[in-house]
Amino acid sequence: MSAPGYLELLRRRAAYRRIWLGSVISLLGDWFTLIALYSLLNQFTGRGEAVGLLLLVRFLPAAVLGPLAGMVADRFPRRLVLITCDLARALVVLGYLLVRSAEDVWLIYALTFVQMTAAAFFDPTEQAAIASTVEPEEVVTANTLQGVTWSAMLGLGAIAGGLTATFVGRDAAFAINALTYLASAVSIRGARVPFSPRPRPATWSAMLGVDDVREGWARVRGDSRVQRTLFVKTAWAIPGGGALVLYAILGERVFAIDGRAEAGIGVLLAMRGLGAFVGPLLARRLGGDTPAFLERAVGVSFLVTAVFWVGFAFAPALPLAAVMLACAHLGVSTQWVFSSSLLALQVEDRLRGRVFAVESMLHMLSLGLSSWIVGRVLDVSGLGPRVVMASLSVVLVITAAVWWLWGRAVKEPTRVSSGSPAR
C-alpha cells in the first residue's frame, strides 16, 4: 500500500486525527506562555543567564525522568496518560499569574519544572500513540504532519503570543494557554488508542517497573541502527540549546522592533516556525519515504542548518536575520521528523514509549546543558551574541561528522516493524 496524503490520513484514522487536533490546539498556547516568560525574565533580571536557566529547567524533567516516562507510556493506557498530563498543565500555567516582581522570579522556574514534568510524560506517550494508531506505511506521513503542525503552531503562536503579551498583557497569554490544554484533553478523550496490557511476574522489580526500564535500555544497547537514530536529535541539541537562548537574546538586544523585545522575539520564532513547516514537506517531495532517503536527508540537514546559522549570526537587520533563521530550520525540522519516523519503524510498538523516552532524555539533557552554558558564556566571557552564535555552527559541523562516520560503520538494513493494528 502506498503512503496516503495528509488529508486522507486524517480522514482515515480517527484516533490519530484526535491526537493531532489536540496538538494543534495545545501547541498554539505553548508559545503564548514561552514568549511571556521570556519577557518577564528580561524585565525582572536583564541577564542572558536567566533565559538560559529557564531553558535548562524546561529541558531537565525529560532528561531526569525519561526512563520512568517511557515505562509509563508502555505500561498504562496511553490515552489516559495524555489526558492526565494536559489537565495538570492547564492548572500549572495559571500559576504564572502570581509572578508580579523580581522577588517572584523563582516561581517561574518552579512552575516551569512542574509544567515540563507533565510534558516529559506526555511527549513519548504521544509519539508511541501516534505510531500505534496508523499502519507502518503511514508512519512517515503521520510524523511529517505532526512535525509541520508543530512548526505552524510555532509560527502562529509566536506572532499571536508576541502581540498578545505586548498589547493585551502576559496574563491573557497564560490564561489562553490553560484553555488550550483543556481543549486538547477533550479532543484526545475521544481517541481509541490501542493498549494491550501484558502479564508481569509478581516480583518487586516487575511491579515497580524496573524490569520495563531494563528491557527498554537493552533494546537500545542491542541495535546500533537505533543508537544512531537516537543520536540525531542529541547531535543537534549539543549546540541547539545555546542557539535557542541566542534567538531570544538577539531578538531582545539586536532585533527588537521599536524597542519591544517581545515583538522581535516573536518575529524570529515565527520565521523559525515557517522554515520548520516547509523543511520536511519539501524533503519528502524531493526524495520520498524510504529509510535510505530519510537517513541521507538527515545528514544533509545538519549542513543546511550550520550554513544558515552563520548567516543568521551576522545578518545586519531583522528581515535578513529572519530569512536566515527560517532557512536554518528547514534542516532542523527535517532531522526531527525523519529521525522520529526512522525510530518508529525500527522499534516494535510495545517498546516504543521507552525508546522514545530515551531519545527525549538524551536530547533534553543536551539542550539543557547547552542553553545554560551559552547563557553563562554570554554573561562572563565578553563575547557578543553574534560571535557565540557563529561558533555554534562549528560545533554542529563536528557533531554532523560524528553522525556521518557512525553511518559508515552501520550497514545492516533498517528493520520495519509491523506495529499494532491501526484504529
pLDDT, residue 421, reads: 34
Answer whether 7's CB lies under 8 Å from 138's CB: no
Is pLDDT above 50 for 423? no
pLDDT, residue 68, reads: 84
The string of DSSP letters for 183-214 reads HHHHHHHT-----------SSHHHHTTHHHHH
Of residues 133 and 154, the one with the higher pLDDT is 133
pLDDT, residue 261, reads: 62
Of residues 191 and 50, the one with the higher pLDDT is 191
Q: Is residue 3 very low, low, confident or very high in pLDDT (cuts 50, 70, 90)?
A: low
pLDDT, residue 345, reads: 87
pLDDT, residue 108, reads: 92
Q: Which domain holds residue 282?
A: 10-192+215-409
Number of domains in the chain: 1
Is pLDDT above 70 for 149? yes
Q: Which residue type is seen at 37?
A: L
Min mean pLDDT across 8-12, 65-69, 260-264, 341-345 is at: 260-264
Is pLDDT above 60 for 416? no
pLDDT, residue 198, reads: 64
The CATH number of whichever domain residue 269 belongs to comes to 1.20.1250.20
**Residue 67 within a domain:** yes
pLDDT, residue 2, reads: 58
Which cell numbers hold the place of 53?
Answer: 536557566
Average per-residue pLDDT for the chain: 84
Secondary structure percentages of the chain, helix, strand, coil, to 5: 85, 0, 15
Helix locations, 45-77, DSSP H = 48-75
pLDDT, residue 312, reads: 93
Match 523516552 to its residue by C-alpha cell: 357
Q: Give Cβ neighbours of residue 308 (< 8 Å, ≥ 6 apart).
A: 324, 325, 327, 328, 330, 331
| Total residues belonging to the chain | 423
In b/e form, how buried is each residue of 296-309, taking b as 16+ CB within 10 angstroms? ebbeebbebbbbbb
Per-residue pLDDT tens over the stretch 276-312? 888 998 998 888 888 889 888 998 999 999 999 999 9
Q: Give Cβ neighbours of residue 414 (< 8 Å, ≥ 6 apart).
A: 225, 291, 292, 295, 342, 345, 346
Mean pLDDT value of segment 112-131: 91
Q: Which residue type is seen at 182?
A: L
**Residue 177 within a domain:** yes
Per-residue pLDDT tens over the stretch 36-76? 887 788 788 877 678 778 878 887 888 788 878 888 888 88
**Residue 145 within a domain:** yes
